[in-house]
Structure 1
Amino acid sequence: MSEELEKERSRVTAADEKIVPLLLERMEAVAEIGWIKQREGLGVKDVGRERKVLDRVGELAGEENAEYVQEIYREIMNQACRFQERQKGEGK
């Protein structure tokens, strides 16, 4: 493996070490939001909120990368909904 490839892979690893804790922090907030939605009798999915998130992250990513970042966030939000659905059966 080339030194250049190894260097770039190290950058990815370093980014992952920052991303995972942030994803865990996001999931903690998602859990709390799920409990609040349950108490307030709201559904898990909020299409309007999802659209706002996708628009915001698209702007943050810039025109060149918006499509890719938005697709990643679609999956993040799908998993958040899945998590909240599972949470419904657990009660708090």
Structure 2
Amino acid sequence: MAELLTESGLWYRPQFEEGRHRLDFLVVSPLGTRYDLEVDGRAHCTPEQIHADQVRDSFMEARGYRVVRVAARDVFNREDAVVRLLARLP
């Protein structure tokens, strides 16, 4: 994901701490929008983890972040789709 962010020209910091949470990537768009970019593996597919992610996302949104979740398999198998998603971040 870091390579795709660099190729997209987006400013980012990996493993950024925000409160009690750690963002996979803090991304700031050219317009200054802050994103919590999460790369989710299979472990994020369980009902318990989906609920935990929803609670966490609400916390991050309350702090002014836009949360974007990307499946880890897409980073490896669908780079073009991830690059298109990154290009649309305002």
| Shared fold per TM-score greater than 0.5 | no
Q: Structure 1 or 2: larger helix share? A: 1
Q: Structure 1 or 2: larger strand share? A: 2
Structure-2-length-normalised TM-score: 0.30
Structure-1-length-normalised TM-score: 0.30
Q: Looking at both structures, which has the greater relative contact order when contacts are Cα pairs under 8 Å and sequence separation is at least 6?
A: 1
